[in-house]
Structures are given as C-alpha cells and as structure tokens.
Amino acid sequence: MATLSEMACYTLINIPSDAEPPTELQLKQDLEKGDTRTKTEALKKTIQLILNGEKMPSLLMTIIRFVMPSQDHMIKKLLLIFWEVVPKYTPDGKMLHEMILVCDAYRKDLQHPNEFIRGSTLRFLCKLKEPELLEPLMPAIRQCLEHRHSYVRRNAVLAIYTIYRNHDFLIPDGPELIAKFLEGEQDMSCKRNAFMMLIHADQERALNYLSSCIEQVTTFGDILQLVIVELIYKVCHANPSERARFIRCIYNLLNSSSPAVRYEAAGTLVTLSSAPTAIKAAASCYIELIIKESDNNVKLIVLDRLIALKEVPAHEKVLQDLVMDVLRVLSAPDLEVRKKTLSLALDLVTSRNIEEMVLVLKKEVVKTNNVEHEDTGKYRQLLVRTLHQCCIKFQDVAATIIPVLLEFLGDQNELAAQDVLVFVREAIQRFTTLRSLIISKLQEVFPSIKAMKIHRAAMWILGEYCETSEDIQNVMTMIRQSLGEIPIVDDEIKKAAGEVKEDEMQMGGNVQKLVTADGTYASQSAFSTTTSPKKEERPPMRQYLMDGDFFVGAALSTTLTKLALRYISTTPDQKKQNSLLAESMLIMATIIHLGKSGLPTKPITDDDVDRIATCLRVLAEKSDLMTEIFNNDCRESLSMMLAAKLADEKELQRMTEKRMVKVQPDDPIAFAQLINKSEMGATENMFELTLSQALGMTNKKDVDPMGASKLNKVSQLTGFSDPVYAEAYVNVNQFDIVLDVLIVNQTSDTLQNLTLELATLGDLKLVEKPTPLTMAPHDFCNIKANVKVASTENGIIFGNIVYDVSGAGSDRNCVVLNDIHIDIMDYIVPASCDDTEFRQMWAEFEWENKVAVNTNISSLSEFLQHVIKMTNMKCLTPEKALSGDCGFMAANLYAKSIFGEDVLANLSIEKPAHLSQDTPVQGHIRIRAKSQGMALSMGDKINLSQKKVIKS
C-alpha cells in the first residue's frame, strides 16, 4: 500500500498556514445542518485538512448522506476534488464499502441532463486510478461519446484514453471505438483528443486516418494541426523511410493560419530534412513569425531558433541568402531583439549582399534621427558598432559608411558619437586612401559637435592626420572659431563690463581668421540682423574652459603643437611658419592666463598647466627630438595598439570558429536504403527532450563522480546528542531551492506529529508547509521543502522540529535547528562588457561597498585569480595589461545574476617594493551594484573568502 506522500497528486491547493484548523466535530455539524454556503466552506476545509495529512474517516458517510445529493455546481466541483484526494482503501488494502455509493452517484451524474456536470465528471474520471470504481461506469462513459454537446464528447474521449492507458482490460476495443468516432466527428477539439489517443494507443490507425485526409489538413483547426505535426515527427523519427510520405504535409502546414502550427512545422521540417529548400522554407517561416508576432518573448525564442540554424555549417550558406529578410526584423521596437538581429545579420553577411545591408542600416540611422524613445540612443550605438564591424570585415564599403557615421558626431547621444570616433581613429590609420575623405568630412561636422569629449577626440584626430598646409590652416580657423576673440580674459572682462557693442557681441562667436598669401590673418564675419539674445552664447571651446574643463585646453595645446610642427615641415615660407607658431603659442598662453585669472568656475589644474607649458616650450625650441616624438612616435604607438587589438580579435575569432564539415575522398557513401533504423534515427526525440527539460529531468554529466561537491552542500542542523538528528542537502536550481532534510529518530520512543517548521530571512519564500510524520524508534526519513528565490541576496533559512512522544502526557517537544545560509554564488555567472559600458554602469550604480584586502596571499596575480574563482566574476582587464611585476595591479571585474542584476568590482592592490617577498597583498576592492543587497552580499562573500586555505 502506497503511503500518502507516494500517492499521485493532481490537484494542488494552497493551505493558509496562519488559520486555526477546525475540529472534526465542528466540520460534521456544518456538513450536516449548514446551508449551501456553510457546506461549501466546510468541504473546502475538509479537503485542505486531508491534503495536510489528516485522515478524517468519520466524515465520509456524512458527506455521502448530506452533501452529495446537493445540486449546487460549486459543491459538485468541490466533491470531485474531495473524491480525488480522500483515501479510498482500508489499512489492510481493501476498497472502502462507502465507495460503492459514490460510484452509483457518479453513474447518475454521467447521465445528468446538464452538460457541465457530465463533462466535469468525465474529467474527474481521468484522475481515478481504481478499476473497481471505473468498471460499473463504462457503459455510461461510452454513451457520452454520442452526446449532442462537444464539451461532453471531448471529455469522454479523454476519459476513455486514460482508462485504456491505465486499465486496457476495461475497454479492450478503445482504439477501434475512437477511430470510428473520429470518422464521424466534426468538432475540432473532439477530433484533436481522439487523434491524440490514437497516436499513443494505436499509431497505425492514426496514420491511416491521416493518410485518408492528408489533403484537407490545411483546413483543420490549429489544435488538430499541432497534434498532426507531433505524429509526423514521431513517425519519421522512428521510421525515416516514411519521410517522403509526410514531408509535403509539413511544407503545407508552414502556410497555416496559426503561428504556433507554423513554428512547430518549421522546427519539425528542420529535424526531418537538411535539404537547402527545406532549410530555406523553415528559416523564411521563422522570419515571418518574428516580424508578425507582437510578443517580444516569442520574437527572442524564434530568433534563437534562427541562430541555432546558423550554427550548423551546412545550413549557414542557405541562410546567407536571407540576410535582407533577417534585417526586416529591425522594425521591432525592442532593443534586445534588434541586438540579436544585427549580430545574426553580421555573421551571415557576405560580399554579395554587404552593400544592400549597408543601405538598410543607413535608412535605420536616418529613422532614429526624429524618434525620441528611451532606447533610441542605445539603438544608434548598436547601428554604429554594426557599421563599424561591416567596414572592418569588408573594406570596400568603408568609403560609403564613413560619411554616414561622421554625421553622428553632432548627435546628442555622446555614446554613439564616441563609438564613431573610435571607429574613425581605426579607419584613418588602416585605410590610408580614405584619409583625405575623413579629414574633409570631419572638418565639415566639427562645428556641429556638442559634447566636450567628442570635441577633444575629434581635435586629436585632426591634429594627428592633417598633412597638407591647407588642411592645417582650416583646422586653425575652426579652433579660432570655437574659442572666439583672443585674448580670452580681456574679451570676457570687456563683455562683463558691457564695453563690447551689440553687433560685435553677436558675431564674436563667428569670427573667422583666414591666412592670406603673405601669412597674415584676415578677419571675416557674417553680419547678422537678428536681435541679440539676453544671454550671449559663448563659442563651444571657450564655454568648456569657462566651466573649468581645462583638460580640453591641454588636448588643444597638443593638437596645436602637432599642427605647427607639421606646418613647418610642409611650408618653406619662414614668415608663414612664424605667423602660425605665434598664433598657436598665443592660444596656449591665453588658456593658461584664463586658468589663473579666476574667471572660470574652477581654476586650471597643475597637470594641465605643465602640459600646456611643455607644448609652449616645444614650439619655442623646435628640437628634432620633440618633432620626432610629436609627429611620428605618437602615431606609432596608436598603430601598435590597433595591431594588438586586431591580433586579439583574430585569436578570439579563431577560438570561436566553427569546425567546417569536411568530407574526405575515401569516406564511405551512405545509402539511405541500406542504413539501419537505429543508425538513421539516432538523434534524440525532440518532444521527449523538451518534456524532460521542462520537468528538470535532463541527464547532466556528473563532473564530480565521488559527489564531493554535493557533500559540501550538506548542512548539519542538529547535534548528534539531540533526540532528533537532522541534516539538509541544499540543492539550488536557478529560482528554486530544494531542501532535502534527513531526519533520524535517535530515541526508543515513537514520535508522533513530527513537524519540520521553517522560516526564511531575505528575499526567500517558503512554498509549502512540510507534512507532519509519525516516526518509529530509531527510524529515519527524508522531508523535502521548496523555497522560491526572488533576488540575489544572502538568505537565511531557520526553524525547528516539533513532535509529541507516544504515551507521554507532557507538552510538545522542540529541537531548534541550526541556520542554513544560502550562498549568493549559486546565482552569479561571469559576464563580459566593453570599457565604455563598464564606465557607464560604474557611474550609474548608486550602491558601493569598499572592502579592505586582508589576505595571506603574497602574489598580486594569484590574489586576482583567487578573487575571480571565489566570486564567479570575469576579469575585463586584458591579460597584457596585467602581465609583468610592478608591485601594483588594477583590474575590473564583472558578473551578472540569473535575475539580470549587474555587479561590478574594481580591484586595486599593491605590494610595496621595500617589503619582503612573503608580505601579503594590500589594497581595496570596490564593489558597485544597483541594489544594496547585491553590493553587501558580494562584499560579505569577498570578506569571508579572501584568505587562502592552506592544506595541511
């Protein structure tokens, strides 16, 4: 006889733990004498108590006499649940006599004129396992197949199916009966249930039916079409020679009106055939589904299917022709969908369709100009990066891409503009033929730049790559325009005092200084008749300086120095050389003067003064060494950095490169007709696999055969001398924690009503209350408890075990349990992001936890590896930057939780040179996260595991 915990349970009902349980006598009175509402409530409480382990045998006859005759629909529904959960056997394993009365009542319900009562009774019979109870009901069940209402007929089919599956002797002609029913049935839900029964009970009959109506499959309802797809998959998987018979049907179902059917048909087609036409049809179907479905989750799931198709080398070539169709998915507003789509398109694009792809991406760029959406900036950034990758992958399109990208520099979104400049810096160094185009385009967009960082980087590129004297003069003009009148201090004082005339103030920002033929400057201005605004807008570069950002002044000085030194080498005219040198030195001097004047909001820093003064000295002395450093060595170092980056990218590409399918000339030829069934259908059944994954029954390879890691997760809850010994194995499965608690009765007494009472602290929630048990002397048992996890925080589970001793008159005994600490590391997975994203997140996250390093590890690199291992984080700092031994190390770490929370860490450690080799590492680890719990939990984890355990 199965125990209550082993019995099959179909209906799960939540039991409120805070309510006081009613007595059996009270329930009996309510069930006998109460009105319909009172009976309903009493019946609910009875069901809850039975589910909680109470037997309540005395209530059985009461319910049969006083509750079963009721015609109330709510009571009838509750009775179905009651008869499902109530114990139906005596302790010696014989059927209770009262169940004969129950059986007779349900025979009447199966002949009831109300179709709801008939249908719900048939659904209940699907859950009944006792053949003794089912046998008298068989004629009534058969009659229900001919009922006028489809609800009754479809539930009758389900009842016959489950009875045939569990007790085929009760209805031996089940498949024949259902096959006959299927031929005359018109309702789609009834046909679907009948067809599903034939698939599982008599596949040959199901195939015969399908063959007879294969031409009409497209006219069937979607629920029936889904079952047909499943049947075709199973038949073709088990017997591959049947593929030719049914593959046309699958092709037709790709045009079904139901998206679910199209999705399943496409997945089945890919598994049944690897022909290019089949792959193309399935991929086109997936793309249409993504475009037409509004749900983002559906879009992402189907996109993953497309990406999985691409991973197969034989299919990749077919998908390459569909790149333009894939790009249609960009019409979706969701950023994650767009990100995956661009990544997929970039992997598939070839030299044949790169130009078309660039045109589509250009249109997307134009579309984002006038759209104000929270993700628009990030999407523009994605487009920039994709165009960048296209340009590096296919250098021929660089000339058409670069002008489009440079338009981004005037963008409000600084991140997109920054990405453009990183790309331009790489392109101008790699593609020497495009330098003049980039320089001229950069000069065009320079006045529209709005951000200081972008101005600074654009000036660096212009200073580094302007080669001709004409370009140098144009850049000098732009610099003067963006600074306004010089000297800046005198001009600002005049404006503050109101000495400057209104029209001069208006054109102060637009003054252009052009170099004439004799090397002198000629002023040129566009006179404007518009009225002067009350608050005069300063030119951009001057505004930065007035705001105290003098680093831009230092960068400007470097640019001017490079331009002046290059101008000297390209222009032989001494007068022009001196004029440009003097102009550059005047700008630098006026920046230092402004920084010391007290007019800006913040004074100039010493570093910036030193930098500008160095540039002034270089221009004054004009030594060959400094000319070489400024004009050649700077570019050489950039070239080395880009070469190292390219080498890293190639190495990464080589590591992730898919192994190509290679057919050797002496490989045996596979003839389909001569291959074994077992060899041909060797792939795993897709439906079985997805079902086992959903149930969490996948066979993971055990990397730890001795189970040492499992033993590490066993927590001792009580002492060995306690009357009840308990220990728990904590199994973390993503959002669930399963506690498998072993309880041992160490006494010579029988323990009754032994209950494991648990409570949680943190973002944990106990799903159900464990059932009370009775334990024999020196007996042991296992109790499972489920806990739901809501966020990444260190949680604590605590509680006690309470029990009664058999025959003792004392109060309940209680054993307090040790706390179980849930490790945050079970939810943390390593992740990667680029430097820009890391800096952006570092600035955005408001919670910081600073942990002082206190360790016994003496090596910097060893300590870094120890922290990475203990925290599951990934080191973003490249290996080259960490190599060498300089006594100091700084590294950035990043990880994500399974709930999508980010956690950043910055490791700053040192080992002073004057100390001995064995001195431990010193320093700090700063952790940043969006939530306080994450930052604190990660800090605690690092604090606890800083020291290395030395094995004795």
Kindly give, in sequence order, each residue whose CB lies less than 8 Å from that of residue 779, ignoring residues fewer than 6 positions away.
Answer: 744, 745
pLDDT tens by residue, 60-115: 788 888 888 888 888 888 888 888 878 777 777 777 777 777 788 888 888 888 88
d(CA 39, CA 45) in angstroms, rounded, equals 10
pLDDT tens by residue, 437-460: 888 888 888 777 777 788 788 888
Statement: residue 681 has pLDDT above 50: no
Helices (H), 114-187: 115-127, 131-134, 138-144, 150-166, 174-184
Statement: residue 660 has pLDDT above 60: no
Strand partners, 847: 929
Residue 873 structure tokens:
């984080």
pLDDT band at 47 (very low <50, low <70, confident <90, very high): confident
- The burial class, CB within 10 Å (0-12 / 13-18 / 19+), for 944 is exposed
d(CA 946, CA 940) in angstroms, rounded, equals 10
- The burial class, CB within 10 Å (0-12 / 13-18 / 19+), for 144 is buried
* 220 closest CA partner among 260, 186, 250: 186
Strand 795-805 versus strand 820-822 pairing type: antiparallel
d(CA 185, CA 146) in angstroms, rounded, equals 10
d(CA 291, CA 284) in angstroms, rounded, equals 11
Statement: residue 370 has pLDDT above 70: no
Statement: residue 180 has pLDDT above 50: yes
d(CA 385, CA 343) in angstroms, rounded, equals 10
d(CA 68, CA 46) in angstroms, rounded, equals 15
Phi-psi region of 837 (alpha: psi -120 to 50; beta: other; left: phi over 0): alpha
**Average pLDDT in the 281-295 region?**
86
Statement: residue 795 has pLDDT above 70: yes
Which pLDDT score is estimated for 702? 44
Which pLDDT score is estimated for 32? 81
Which pLDDT score is estimated for 413? 62
For residue 496, the SS3 value is helix
User: What is the residue-averaged pLDDT of the chain?
Assistant: 77
pLDDT tens by residue, 559-586: 888 888 887 777 777 787 788 888 888 8
* 366 closest CA partner among 376, 351, 355: 376
| Least confident piece of the model among 120-134, 662-676, 707-721 | 662-676
Statement: residue 392 has pLDDT above 50: yes
Which pLDDT score is estimated for 726? 92
- Are the C-beta atoms of residues 798 and 761 closer than 8 Å to each other? yes
Statement: residue 690 has pLDDT above 80: no
pLDDT band at 374 (very low <50, low <70, confident <90, very high): low
Kindly give, in sequence order, each residue whose CB lies less than 8 Å from that of residue 66, ignoring residues fewer than 6 positions away.
Answer: 31, 32, 39
Statement: residue 506 has pLDDT above 60: no
Compare 139 and 621 and report the one with higher pLDDT.
139
Proportion of the chain above pLDDT 90, given as a percent: 1
DSSP string computed for 856-884 = S---HHHHHHHHHHHHT-EE-S-HHHH-S
Which pLDDT score is estimated for 513? 45
**Average pLDDT in the 272-300 region?**
85
pLDDT tens by residue, 342-356: 888 888 888 888 888
* 422 closest CA partner among 399, 446, 392: 392
What DSSP state is assigned to residue 208? H
d(CA 354, CA 386) in angstroms, rounded, equals 12
Which pLDDT score is estimated for 696? 52
Statement: residue 505 has pLDDT above 50: no
For residue 734, the SS3 value is coil
Which pLDDT score is estimated for 474? 82
Statement: residue 703 has pLDDT above 50: no
Which pLDDT score is estimated for 231? 81
Which pLDDT score is estimated for 652? 65
d(CA 818, CA 282) in angstroms, rounded, equals 56
Q: Please report how many Cα atoms fall inside a 13 Å half-sphere around the Cα of residue 790, on the Cβ side.
A: 10
d(CA 629, CA 561) in angstroms, rounded, equals 11
d(CA 310, CA 270) in angstroms, rounded, equals 12
Which pLDDT score is estimated for 807? 67
Q: pTM for the full model?
A: 0.66
pLDDT tens by residue, 459-478: 888 877 877 878 778 888 88
Kindly give, in sequence order, each residue whose CB lies less than 8 Å from that of residue 223, ignoring residues fewer than 6 positions away.
Answer: 188, 189, 192
Compare 409 and 229 and report the one with higher pLDDT.
229
Statement: residue 890 has pLDDT above 70: yes
Count of Cβ atoms closer than 10 Å to residue 128 Cβ? 19
What type of residue sits at position 133? L
Cα separations (Å) of 709 from 518, 712, 731?
83, 5, 11
Which pLDDT score is estimated for 725? 92
* 157 closest CA partner among 208, 101, 224: 224
Which pLDDT score is estimated for 123? 85
pLDDT band at 514 (very low <50, low <70, confident <90, very high): very low
What DSSP state is assigned to residue 673? G
pLDDT tens by residue, 587-617: 888 888 888 887 778 888 888 888 888 888 8
